[in-house]
Chain A
Amino acid sequence: MKVSKNEMKDMYLRMERIRAFESKAQTLFAEGKIPGFVHLYLGEEAVATGVCECLRDDDYITSTHRGHGHIIAKGGDLKYMMAELCGKATGYCKGKGGSMHIADGTKGILGANGIVGAGQDIAVGAGLSISYRGTDQVCVCFFGDGSTNQGTFHEALNMASIWKLPIVFVCENNNYGISMCQARHQHIKDVADRGAAYGIPGVAVDGNDVLAVNEAAGEAIARARKGQGPTLLECKTYRWRGHFEGDPGNYKPKAEQEAWLKKDPIPHFRKFLVENDILTEDELNRLDEQAKEELAAAVKFADESPEPDAKTVVEDVYSDIVEEARVR
């Protein structure tokens, strides 16, 4: 599959956007400006980017607790994301969801999710809907290695395979389910092997190589669009940070961390682009600047946005009922 210069440029920019957003989220959380929990996508940028480059706005994704990268890669707006993380009224969810519950119906983003594995079952529904309506859309379901031990993984892959649903199950194998490394939480090396259990292709790729991810995802997505059913695509990557900010990740061996830091997907891709005369250093620097500017605008937007009106707490539970407010 030939990847155009524009696509390469776009992928580089998307990765830089995610990197900038996550780095800032890390700082803002440390400064106490983001309440709650934050699970960062740092180090895994090539996966969401390589996959989402193949998607259209009318395609769907389901995401996870570590969802910022997926949402940015699928076209989510940094301003509304940052405002949501900061609990502002202008955020994607009006401050009702936070980091783990961002959704954007206009971009087919069916939601990040605080329950490990839950998006797998929801993806089946999106796939069923596409198949029922007979369109050529697809649904990409992102999840981590840890979630492949949940019952939802089995239920969803089984159901998607018998109905040949247009779903690409993308396992981001970052080697950890919270504190348990993969070797401790499952007795296989390649999650992709599990595709055989459902009679569907299981493909493993280097998840830090955005072009490898893009190529494998492109094939899986093309299969899905043609009605040839689901694929299990495993992207091997690494979670740089702890499970959440505040988890020092002491369970990760130092040598392992250092080895993976050297495999940072962004400089790796940048080097490739320069060495193959696809983009110049100048062009790349301009993209870096663009990502920084977008981020600065997002932070400013979040900063200047008001907190939600306390009265809105009882709204949006139902389409047609406003719950009773407390009288004080």
Chain B
Amino acid sequence: MKKMSIGEAIREAMSIRMREDPNVLLFGEDVGAFGGCFGVSAGMFDEFGEKRVRDTPISEGAIIGAAIGSAATGLRPIAEIMMGDFVTVAMDQLVNQAAKMRYMFGGKISLPMVVRLPGGAGVSAAAQHSQSLEAWLTHVPGLKVVYPSTAQDALGLLLASIDDDNPVMFIEHKAMYGMKGDVESFDPIPLGKGDIKRAGSDVTIIATGNMVHAALSAAKTLDADGISAEVLDPRTLYPLDKELIAASVGKTHRVVIATEEVKRGSFGSDVAATIAEEMFDLLDEPIVRVGALNTPVPFAPVLEQTYLPNAQDIVNAVRSKE
């Protein structure tokens, strides 16, 4: 067993696969000797050299294009988009090209590529460096979307993402890179398998990314009230582990969904709709969503904390069901 931060776990997963497979390479803005904007690739340049840990110009469209073209011709690229928000600049390459190529070409071209997307708020990075654009990604057929909340999950899920023959969007919360956790396994964690982060019997809190930790904290508070909350982290947003959700909801009959996204049109909303459509008979009460306010991400800490959902919001959401 090893203590590792989420950032270190991501670096470890990339390094493991790069040591094993010469077709795996990493490129993006300042990922080389600089070590990446958040230091995730620190040291990799020294180990693997400039060809495999490659700095690119500030050209997000061409970064994704380079991933597509190299994946279509035999490599297994990992592309880092410095801030997840910048993927909007590359949306044509991602949405119209990467996501669609296999289908448009009748299944004849595979794109084994990973796009790493540091997302999330909480560090006063304001409206263009803090967003949670999960819904933009899960909306597009052809993309898989992964969002780990622990070091162990980050490592295992990234290994599986690199091994996957489809474009995988790997969301990393920028405020969580330093979060340490135990890493016991160095094996891939299959995409599409969620995880119960805390077992409970009265309510299921489905949470992603940083909200998993808010949900765990809320669960402790609720315990004192005699409410036993189960915290379910889907880990992969698409494909979604509906079986695990159904099993949990079948036990608790109550659901709160907590994501850091702007609530309107969110991935969390889609999970709510899916449960309402497919598992309505399991529910004793309406589903409640907890999300960010429907505003751009503000700068000043007091404004940003007002914008962001937190553990108390989850506690309130659960209590609203009492």
Report yes or no: B65 in contact with A125, Cβ–Cβ below 8 A: yes
Contacts known (A121-B93, A122-B68, A123-B69); A318 close to B102, Cβ less than 8 A: yes
Chain A nearest CB from B300 CB (Å) reads 33
Say whether A3 faces chain B, with CB atoms less than 8 Å apart: no
Interface size class of A (residues with CB under 8 A): 35 or more
Say whether B119 faces chain A, with CB atoms less than 8 Å apart: no
Q: Which of B72-80, B181-189, B255-263 contacts A (4 or more CB under 8 A)?
A: B72-80
Say whether A120 faces chain B, with CB atoms less than 8 Å apart: yes
Say whether A261 faces chain B, with CB atoms less than 8 Å apart: no
Report yes or no: A103 in contact with B166, Cβ–Cβ below 8 A: no
Chain B nearest CB from A13 CB (Å) reads 26
- Name B156-193 residues within 8 Å CB distance of A: 164-166
Say whether B226 faces chain A, with CB atoms less than 8 Å apart: no
Report yes or no: B69 in contact with A126, Cβ–Cβ below 8 A: yes
The 8 closest A-B pairs by CB, nearest first: A125-B69, A121-B65, A316-B107, A93-B106, A94-B106, A155-B62, A101-B104, A155-B59
Bound-state CA distance A323–B74 (Å) is: 26
Chain A nearest CB from B97 CB (Å) reads 6
Chain A residue at minimum C-beta to C-beta distance from B69? A125
- Name B92-111 residues within 8 Å CB distance of A: 92-93, 96-97, 101-110
Report yes or no: B66 in contact with A124, Cβ–Cβ below 8 A: yes
Report yes or no: B62 in contact with A118, Cβ–Cβ below 8 A: no
Which residues on B sit within 8 Å (CB–CB) of A120? 65
Task: Point out the residue from A102, A127, A320 that lies within 8 Å of B69, measured CB to CB.
Answer: A127
Bound-state CA distance A326–B144 (Å) is: 21
Report yes or no: B103 in contact with A96, Cβ–Cβ below 8 A: yes
Which residues on A sit within 8 Å (CB–CB) of B51? 132
Besides the known contacts A93-B105, A122-B93, A122-B97, 14 further A-B residue pairs in the complex with CB atoms under 8 A apart: A92-B105, A96-B103, A102-B105, A105-B109, A121-B62, A122-B72, A125-B66, A125-B67, A130-B73, A132-B25, A132-B70, A317-B141, A318-B144, A319-B165
Say whether A151 faces chain B, with CB atoms less than 8 Å apart: yes
Say whether B61 faces chain A, with CB atoms less than 8 Å apart: yes
Chain A residue at minimum C-beta to C-beta distance from B59? A155
Chain B residue at minimum C-beta to C-beta distance from A98? B104
Report yes or no: B70 in contact with A128, Cβ–Cβ below 8 A: yes
